[in-house]
Structure 1
Amino acid sequence: MARMRSIAAGGILIAAVSGGSIFGWYSSQTSASATIAAAPPPSVVVSVPLKREITDWNEFAGRFEPSASVDIRARVTGYLRSIDFQDGQIVEAGQLLFVVDQRPYQTALAQARAQRSSAQAAVELASLELRRSEQLVGSNAVSQASLDQRRQQKKDADASLELAEAAVARAQLDLDYTEIRAPIAGRVSNRRVDPGTLITDSVLLTTIVALDPIYFVFDVSERDLLSYQRGLKKGEIAPLRDKSMPVEARMQGDEDWPYRGSIDFVDNRLEAGSGTIRARATLPNPDLFITPGQFGRLRMPLTRPYEALLIPETATLRDQADRVVLTVDADNKLKATKVELGSSQGRGLRVVRGGIGPQDRIVINGLMRARAGQAVSPQAGEIEPSSTALAN
């Protein structure tokens, strides 16, 4: 009996100790839950969409080409005497580039001038004899046949003089052609011949390309061409072919679109193989920074300027095939709102065509700490046009 009372007492003591442990664990868990529940809601930065006047653009890839390109060749045959430019320099229209040996052509010009003087003397003699015959024919001292002969001689002398004048002009032209000058302003290539070389009109001496203005050549797909034609029919954009369509261009590494010009040519047919049509824009290049052959991108307006809502690209999330943003309601709770995105406006901004309004507060920073349906502590922010900060 004493043994059973001892066991019972021990059981009661163990139960008491165990019961105390259970109550203590429950109390500590309740305290931890209360601590978690009392944690403040996460802080996020919110802002209403940025309202700006924008234009929708369509971008094309292409290359810059010179607005003029000339192969320099000699018009006369002879030995090259001098080269009067530095390889790769900028030249002006009319600047002297090459000189062919002029001595043979100077001699030919002197000979042609002498023949012209002889022809002039023959004209003077024929004129004098004609006047005498006309005076004497009335007194029958000269026959009518002699008068007709003098008239014919005068015509022959006049024709010989014209031929001599033409020979002088041709000889002068050949002498002028011995000085080979730049037909356009631009950058000259390297010389392809050296002094002392016998050159003909088949020998390429050098080339010149015009740099200001400069062309941008690109291909427009049939789909894009139809879009522009429909936009033109609705009066939403300027015609492509009347040189009033503005364009902007940039080269590799440019963040903005620093070069502005206009479309000046659209081809007359689409290429059947590629389904594209060739187009060309003219751009000023006063500092000659752009070099022909460089790759670039060009954009043309798809619409006239209109007011749109912009949000940062980093404020959007992907939900399967949809794009959503997190908005904050009046109770400071997050809501995933599906949005329809438009064109990119650069510097991290994107057009929103639908889903949110100008007064909706969207999360622009703190997305990694936010979940839909969660209460948050919104902090007022502002969307900057140049904003490129990543949401975190």
Structure 2
Amino acid sequence: MSKRTKTFISVGGIFAILAIAVFFFISAAGPKSQPATTAPPPKPVEFVNPTIDTIQSWDEYSGRFEASQRVDVRARVGGFIDRVHFRDGQIVKKGQVLYTIDQRPFQIEVDRAKADLLQARTALLQSENNFSRVENLKESGAVSLEEYDQREQAVSVARAQVQSMETRVRAAELELSWTQVKAPITGRISRDLVNAGNIVSGGNSNATVLTSIVATSPLYFYFSVPEDDYLRYARQAPGSGHSGSVPVRVELADENGFSHTGSVDFVNNEVNRSTGAMQFRATFKNDDGLLEPGLYGRAQFLSRPDYPATMIPDKAIGTNQTVKFVYTIGADSTVQVTPIEPGRLYKGSERIVTSGLAPDARVITSNLGAIAPGMKVAPRSTASSSTSPAPAAALK
């Protein structure tokens, strides 16, 4: 085969290869059939309608218990402590003897005063006898007027002396009675601050403090209410805080529930200028002796009696910075964002809504993380709580 023939065959093979490549390129670049696309199915969600229930509104504050009475026990006379009649920390009754001060000096004073009284009464009797002898002689002139007046005045002086001695006896007996230091109130006594054998002073402001007693029933609970809350209470029920009719419930530090009930019996007469709060006081019975002065507690104050409240499940509420909202279902089954004003939690899972929610709103409670505004959903109704759906006329 000639050289020219070989060259021709090579060029022809190259052209054939190029033709095949162009064919496949055109086939690849040609129009392709697109698969048919279908819209995703609506996201299934559950919803509830707002419910309404008649409830009471309780506001919470913190405070501490204080004794309704507290007394520092002091001696009214000085002397040596002869005996202590109580155990530290026991409950004592009003009038119970707590201490006995050495009575001997005071008994001697009583005996001396009684002796002086007897002497004064004897002197009075003698003066009256002397006066009776001259009383009938005045008209006959057998006794001078000067003698008559002297004996009459002697009787008056003797009577005054008797009265003075009687007062002295009573004072001495009173001081003798003070040697028995008695409990001025019923309550729990503190520890013995002065043991037997010690000398104490008494009868003045610097008298020795022997111990203290606090009344344990009833107890007072003091708490402070902010100025705006106080004004709200005052407008709702003028004077009710002073009447002792407003209920208060207290929960102690280790408790889970407000089981201790009392009522407000005192509201201070001015707002504290430093804190801007009004001081309230509630009275609590303490028959079981559990409560003690100084205990911390959280109080619930009945701020609003029975009223209809709109509620939804708390889990349905979302937050966008400072705005609270819920997802609701529109008429076309699309998700909408509805801002609301939530109130306090009720029964652990329901949230009171004060405004922003229509009576017939359908509030989404499930798949909240998988939906967005404008998305189509497949709604399914569920019951939110044991309350009944809110009638349109009752919601505001």
Q: TM-score range by the shorter chain?
A: 0.7 to 0.9
Q: 1:320 to 1:374 in 2, by over 3 A?
A: farther
Classify the secondary structure of the residue corresponding to 2:89. Answer: coil
CA distance in 1, matches of 2:141, 2:107: 51
CA distance in 2, matches of 1:291, 1:174: 35
Q: CA deviation at 1:70?
A: 0.6
Instruction: Supply the AA of the counterpart residue of 2:385.
Output: I
Name the counterpart of 2:172: 171
Name the counterpart of 1:75: 76
Which one is further off, 173-182 or 249-258?
Answer: 249-258
Q: 1:169 to 1:381 in 2, by over 3 A?
A: same
Count matched residues.
Answer: 370
Q: Does 1:356 align with 2:357?
A: yes
Name the counterpart of 1:290: 291
Q: 1:213 to 1:366 in 2, by over 3 A?
A: farther
Name the counterpart of 1:219: 224
Classify the secondary structure of the residue corresponding to 1:288. Answer: coil
Q: 1:140 to 1:224 in 2, by over 3 A?
A: same
TM-score, with structure 2 as normaliser? 0.79
CA contact (8 A) 1:238 1:244 kept: no
Q: 1:143 to 1:327 in 2, by over 3 A?
A: same
Per-residue CA shift, 1:42-73, capped at 9, x if unaligned?
Answer: 453x4333322234444333222111111011
Name the counterpart of 2:120: 119
Name the counterpart of 2:102: 101
Mapping of 1:212-251 within 5 angstroms?
212-229=217-234, 231=235, 236-251=237-252
Gaps of 5+ in 2: 1-8, 388-396
Q: CA deviation at 1:194?
A: 0.9
Name the counterpart of 1:381: 383
Q: 1:361 to 1:123 in 2, by over 3 A?
A: farther
Classify the secondary structure of the residue corresponding to 2:61. Answer: strand
Per-residue CA shift, 1:9-44, capped at 9, x if unaligned?
Answer: 9989999xx99xx99xx88xx7xx87x957x95453
Instruction: Supply the AA of the counterpart residue of 1:118.
Output: Q
Classify the secondary structure of the residue corresponding to 2:68. Answer: strand
CA distance in 2, matches of 1:366, 1:188: 62
Classify the secondary structure of the residue corresponding to 2:143. Answer: coil
Q: 1:275 to 1:41 in 2, by over 3 A?
A: closer
CA distance in 2, matches of 1:348, 1:110: 79
CA contact (8 A) 1:51 1:358 kept: no
Name the counterpart of 1:152: 153
Mapping of 1:8-19 within 5 angstroms?
none
Q: CA deviation at 1:77?
A: 0.9
Which one is further off, 201-210 or 271-280?
Answer: 271-280
CA contact (8 A) 2:65 2:220 kept: yes
CA contact (8 A) 1:66 1:215 kept: yes
Mapping of 1:1-392 within 5 angstroms?
37=40, 41-42=43-44, 44=46, 46-201=47-202, 202-229=207-234, 231=235, 236-328=237-329, 334-345=335-346, 347-364=348-365, 367-368=368-369, 371-372=372-373, 373-376=375-378, 378=380, 380-383=382-385
Per-residue CA shift, 1:336-389, capped at 9, x if unaligned?
Answer: 32222234446343321222244444344554455553424525233258xxxx
Classify the secondary structure of the residue corresponding to 2:109. Answer: helix
- Across the aligned residues of Structure 1 and Structure 2, the Cα RMSD in angstroms comes to 3.5
Q: CA deviation at 1:306?
A: 1.7
Q: CA deviation at 1:328?
A: 4.4
CA contact (8 A) 1:52 1:307 kept: yes
CA distance in 2, matches of 1:344, 1:43: 24
Q: 1:366 to 1:125 in 2, by over 3 A?
A: farther
CA distance in 1, matches of 2:40, 2:365: 26
CA contact (8 A) 1:339 1:352 kept: yes
Q: CA deviation at 1:316?
A: 0.9
Classify the secondary structure of the residue corresponding to 2:210. Answer: strand
Instruction: Supply the AA of the counterpart residue of 1:83.
Output: V
Instruction: Supply the AA of the counterpart residue of 1:275.
Output: G
Q: CA deviation at 1:191?
A: 0.9
Classify the secondary structure of the residue corresponding to 1:211. Answer: coil
Instruction: Supply the AA of the counterpart residue of 1:183.
Output: P
Classify the secondary structure of the residue corresponding to 1:137. Answer: coil
Q: CA deviation at 1:242?
A: 4.1
Per-residue CA shift, 1:223-276, capped at 9, x if unaligned?
Answer: 3444444x15xxx45443344444333333444333333333333334443334
Q: 1:381 to 1:228 in 2, by over 3 A?
A: closer
TM-score, with structure 1 as normaliser? 0.79
CA contact (8 A) 2:190 2:212 kept: yes
Which one is further off, 307-316 or 191-200?
Answer: 307-316
CA distance in 2, matches of 1:185, 1:364: 58
Classify the secondary structure of the residue corresponding to 1:155. Answer: helix
Which one is further off, 350-359 or 72-81?
Answer: 350-359
Q: CA deviation at 1:119?
A: 2.1
CA contact (8 A) 1:74 1:199 kept: yes
